[in-house]
Amino acid sequence: MNIKKILCLLIAALCLTGCSSTNDETPDTDKIIITMLYTSDLPNTEKLVETTYTNIDLQIEKNAPATIDGEIERRLRNGHGSDIVTSTLATGDVLNYLADLSADEYISAYQSGIMRKTAKDGKNLFIPLPAQYYGYIYNVTLARENGLPIPTTQDELLEMLEEAKEANIGTDENGFAFAVNGTPTTTAAFAIATKIPDFFGVSEGIRWLDDMKNGKASFEGSLEMCLDLPLEMIEKEYMASRPFTSVSNTVPILEKMSDGEMLIAFDNVTMLDNIRKNSSYEFDMLAMLSSEGNPAWTVSTPTAFLGINKELTEDGNEPRLDACRKILGLLSTPEGQDAFMLDNGAAYSYLANYTPVSDIVPNGIKDCIENGYNYNISMSNDFMRYFGNRCNAVLCGQTDIESAFAKIDEYMQDGGSQNTTLIGTIDHDMLVENYNVRLEETEIGNLISDAVREMTDADIAVVNGGSIRGSLYEGDVYSYDLDYVCPYDDNIIVLEVNADVIKSMLSNSLSAMTLDAKIPGGRFLNVSGLKYSFTPPTAGLSAQLVDVTLPDGSPLDANAAYTIAVTDYMAGSGGYFDNNGDGYTMLNVYSSDIPKAENVKLVRETEYTFHSILEEYIISHNDEEIASQIEGRITAVNGNE
């Protein structure tokens, strides 16, 4: 062997030695994918995880918050659970699907009080993510310029709102100066928070809460006073009742507060931060105020709790289990908390020793926190949603307070039991994931729109994607499954329209699709009896309608009248102010806010909701497995096509 060959072999050997890594990182092609379901993107958290552990690929799937807890539990039950499990409260059946974290070192990093509250049978199954503070966000600039003193009691708060109303200071087009966004869980939090200084934060309320958890206390006759303040605000016209109806959209607090068209709103620190970023006014937050001379309190709740899917403890899943433990361990460090708080806008960490990078606690609630007047609402998300629904019904006048609170007691006595009536079977999974029902054709969107068209006998049926919140899974379908799939009770109506109205409706359907990390609008339409194509949104242009045809590809007849099934919400039953009706003014047959739509006639009203119509459809097809496929009803095309 000559010298050149020896040198070549030596160089090759050195190269091989240099290529072998001394660490345990896996090449990019073999990264361990870890899934997690959450309500928004977490870019800083993902970046921290993937730069710290280069062999881990953390993938966040976004899901609408309204029914996320129930949907997560259903996914786990049907074998579709994510690796890292998210829950807004560490209770319920979800605990049966979680791995025991008690032996993991990072558990000791948290405050013992929060870990005791979330433990089950002495086992730690969750870690708490940082918390949100809630309170009264108010416009400091408007208050100062108009001589409105900052309230320190509940009576002074009402006096401030009265002055604002009389002088049109920080009021919207209807003269309202105060807002709560109207979602059931926010209404529930607001109702409870108003009575923290004078009930829940004192010995009487603490005893009641213990009795309630042990099934010894009732809501009727005890907690009606939680609605005293919101009912007074509605009666005195400081706050609108319409946002609390099921057919109304939430109040656009960000826009109204930023523009000075709302003086005060009940919301959290994240909303406060967003308002500050979008307004030239100065804003701060007030704590929950007493009407009996007690100290003010602030309100906090963990953004969520994280656990590990119990399936990963089975043989063969060791790499994914180890990766999940590493992620939870990293999130349990100051760096991990900082990353999540940057993503989510949370303001408080449950780590035992934590110093925030930036001071994001509003000045108006600092004293409460420093003096220990911080109340953590610890009721289950399912209960908060039910309680909030009943409160909403009272606040918009749909029921009386005694009946509402009697229903809440029934719910508690039944343990929030679900309707387990078997209604049919599904032949394969039809998944709602990453807001797909708001962006593209889906199997579940086709199924529901087909059900609406068949049960109403309309030529065309449309289903707004924001109404579809949960998946259907292969196998048996129970009535309670549909509570998560279609949780809203807007009624379905049939209209007669022409081709131009249909095209205008579909154009509006595409107007809220987004390019960035924002949640796409729920107005996107799933269809039956139609096909349409569109160009996706670009940096300077929203999505554009390209073509509309009948299912066989033939064009719409400009001279024909078509019957179309839509929701009364789209047709203006809740009006069109504050983004209600999702902009479907071309279908307006109800609202007096704007002129009635041209070339639109109300054919009939039904008592159907998406929930009830889908249930009846599945039952009527009980001699077959329900199937649905992607058929090319909705197509995204290149702008040059």
Q: What is the rounded CA–CA span in Å between residue 232 and residue 517?
A: 39
**Residue among 429, 144, 355, 142 at smallest CA distance from 259:** 142
Do 460 and 564 lie in a common domain? yes
- DSSP codes of every residue in 278-331: T-SS-EEEE-BPPSSSPPPBEEEEES-EEEEBGGGGSTT-HHHHHHHHHHHHHH
Evaluate the CA torsion angle 292, 293, 296, 297 in order and state its sign: negative
| Mean pLDDT, all residues of the chain | 88
- 154 and 168 together in one domain: yes
Task: Answer whether residue 117 shows pLDDT above 80.
Answer: no
600 pLDDT more than 80: yes
What residue type is assigned to position 359 of the chain?
D
One domain for residues 283 and 338: no
SS3 content of the chain, % helix, strand, coil (to 5): 40, 20, 40
Domain that holds residue 235: 132-301+362-413
Indicate if 223 and 88 belong to the same structural domain.
no
Angle at which helices 43-52 and 334-344 cross, to 10°: 150
> How many separate domains does the chain show?
3
CATH number assigned to the domain comprising residue 391: 3.40.190.10
362-386 pLDDT, tens per residue? 899 988 988 889 888 877 767 888 8
Side chain identity at residue 502, one-letter code: I
Task: Tell me what pLDDT residue 549 has.
Answer: 97
The percent of residues in the chain predicted with pLDDT above 90, rounded, is: 61
The domain spanning residue 627 has which CATH number?
Answer: 3.90.780.10
Are residues 147 and 285 located together in one domain of the fold? yes
- Give the whole-angstrom CA distance, residue 412 versus residue 56: 42
pLDDT of amino acid 418: 59
What is the structure's pLDDT at 357? 61
Q: pLDDT band at 358, cuts 50/70/90? A: low
What pLDDT does residue 623 have? Answer: 79
Taking residues 554-571, what's their average pLDDT? Answer: 96
Helix H segments across 173-313? Answer: 184-193, 203-213, 228-235, 253-258, 269-277
pLDDT of residue 436: 93
**Same-domain check for residues 105 and 158:** no
One domain for residues 429 and 551: yes
Residues 327 and 289 in one domain: no
Last residue of a domain, one of 413, 440, 473: 413
Has residue 353 been placed in a domain? no
Q: What is the mean pLDDT of residues 289-295?
A: 96
Distances (CA, A) of 515 to 62, 105, 542: 15, 40, 9
Of the pLDDT bands very low, low, confident and very high (cuts 50, 70, 90), residue 14 is: very low
Does residue 357 form part of some domain?
Answer: no
pLDDT grade, residue 10 (50/70/90)?
A: very low
Flag whether 394 is in a domain: yes
pLDDT tens digits along 435-480 = 999 999 999 999 999 999 999 999 999 999 999 988 999 888 988 8
Identify the three-state secondary structure at position 503.
helix
Regarding whether 241 and 113 lie in a shared domain, the answer is: no
Same domain as 184, residue 121: no
In angstroms, how far is CA 296 from the centroid of its own chain? 29
Q: Is 88 a domain residue?
A: yes
pLDDT value of position 453: 97
Domain-embedded: residue 441: yes
Q: What CA–CA distance (Å, rounded) separates 74 from 385?
A: 17
Instruction: Indicate the range of 62-71, 195-204, 302-311, 350-359 predicted with least confidence.
Output: 62-71
| pLDDT tens digits for range 393-403 | 999 999 999 99
Q: Is the per-residue pLDDT at 236 higher than 90?
A: yes
Please tell me the predicted confidence (pLDDT) of residue 310: 96
Is the model's pLDDT at 101 over the cut of 80? Answer: yes
Question: Does some domain include residue 338?
Answer: yes
pLDDT at 509: 96
Confidence of residue 23 (pLDDT cuts 50, 70, 90): very low
Band (pLDDT 50/70/90 cuts) for residue 515 is low
| Residue 29, in any domain of the structure | yes
Look at residues 381, 396, 413 and tell me which one is the last residue of a structural domain.
Answer: 413
Is the domain of 296 the same as that of 308?
no
Same-domain pairing of 499 and 627: yes
> Which range in 15-29, 98-112, 206-220 is most confidently predicted, on average pLDDT?
98-112
Residue 356 lies inside a defined structural domain of this protein? no
The whole-number pLDDT of residue 587 equals: 98
